[in-house]
Amino acid sequence: MAGHLHKKNDASAFFFMATLVMWAVSVFFEILFNKRTELFPLLTGFCFYQFANWVCRTFISRNPLLVNTCVSLLHSSLTSASVVFILVNELISNGWDELFEHSKLVKATWPWAYSALCISCGYFAYDQLDMLLYGLYSGWIPSILLHHFILLGCFTLALYRNVTINYLILTLICELHSIFLHVRKVRRMAGFRDSNSKFVKIEWFLNMVTFFLARLLSHLLITIKLVKDAAKFEKGVELPLALLGMAGMNLLNVFLGVDILKALRRERNSHES
């Protein structure tokens, strides 16, 4: 049901669409009136993934969920590669000693980190809009829409103030896990559901390993680092916003972990029966 707001849940859909419109107005105001040309990659990211959506819809399938998942897989792959590149480049340039130093994480910005964060922010805006237009969510308070709402708020404020950019790049390590979430969804929509096949077993192994290492553990370590360095933050919104954002992410990770275990159990039970 493209072209207008999907009617699955008027209240939550209206809230998330309204906040997305307010976000867009804010971004255009910053670029046009405050001359923040460094934010152009944000618009580039939105347009790039919207174009990828059109390509998938034209040449692969007109199924909104499949199209959305393919574009999400593209984002996870590109973002994971960019985050690994940024971290490896920083390690080669400055070594381990400065990588997790507080001032570097809060005040400095690694090469290409600002643009990478802008592009990912543009993707989350695109994905939020696509899910709202096609009703690709469920529940009174859809966790996926809430996830994007939190990320857009944290990412955009950090980009405006040019602080904690490197911290946020570290949070994007979780996109390594998202790759296997999207691969699983595409596989199942393609009809390949043999849970006893080697491919599916390897996929599930990588799904679980990256969930615990790249998502659950990395976000917990970032939260611990924030709490440990709390006294080093200057007075302002940076620390409260960062702690609130990470608290939300950790909570959503727990819910996601429960969903993953349920999905694994369903696939095994389906194969046995």
Q: How does pLDDT run across 127-179, given as a tens digit for each residue?
A: 999 999 999 998 788 889 999 999 999 999 999 999 999 999 999 999 999 99
pLDDT score recorded for residue 203: 95
**What does each C-alpha distance from 80 to 31, 175, 179, 210, 236 come to in angstroms?**
27, 6, 9, 12, 31
pLDDT tier, 5 (very low <50, low <70, confident <90, very high otherwise): low
The angle formed by the CA atoms of residues 154, 157 and 158, to the nearest 5 degrees, is: 80
Torsion, Cα 222 226 228 233, to 10 degrees, reads: 150
pLDDT tier, 3 (very low <50, low <70, confident <90, very high otherwise): very low
pLDDT score recorded for residue 259: 93
For residue 57, pLDDT over 50 is answered with yes
pTM of the model: 0.92
Number of structural domains found in the chain: 1
> Percent of the chain at pLDDT above 90?
78
Would you give the end-to-end CA distance of the chain in angstroms? Answer: 36
- H/E element holding 30? helix 10-32
- Identify the CA nearest to 4 among candidates 23, 17, 20: 17
pLDDT tier, 44 (very low <50, low <70, confident <90, very high otherwise): very high
Residue 26, token pair as written in the block = 């804010």
Contacts of 184 (CB under 8 A, 6+ apart): 203, 204, 207, 263
**What does each C-alpha distance from 13 to 8, 40, 153, 163 come to in angstroms?**
8, 28, 17, 31
Q: What does the pLDDT look like over 93-117, one tens digit per residue? A: 988 888 899 999 999 999 999 999 9
Calpha distance 12→21 (Å, rounded)? 14
Residue 173, token pair as written in the block = 């390590």
pLDDT score recorded for residue 9: 59
- Identify the CA nearest to 206 among candidates 260, 142, 266: 260
For residue 1, pLDDT over 50 is answered with no
User: In which domain, by residue range, is 243 found?
Assistant: 1-272
Q: What does the pLDDT look like over 186-207, one tens digit per residue? A: 999 988 888 788 999 999 999 9
pLDDT score recorded for residue 6: 55
The average confidence (pLDDT) of the chain is 92
pLDDT tier, 10 (very low <50, low <70, confident <90, very high otherwise): confident
Eight-class DSSP state of 234: P
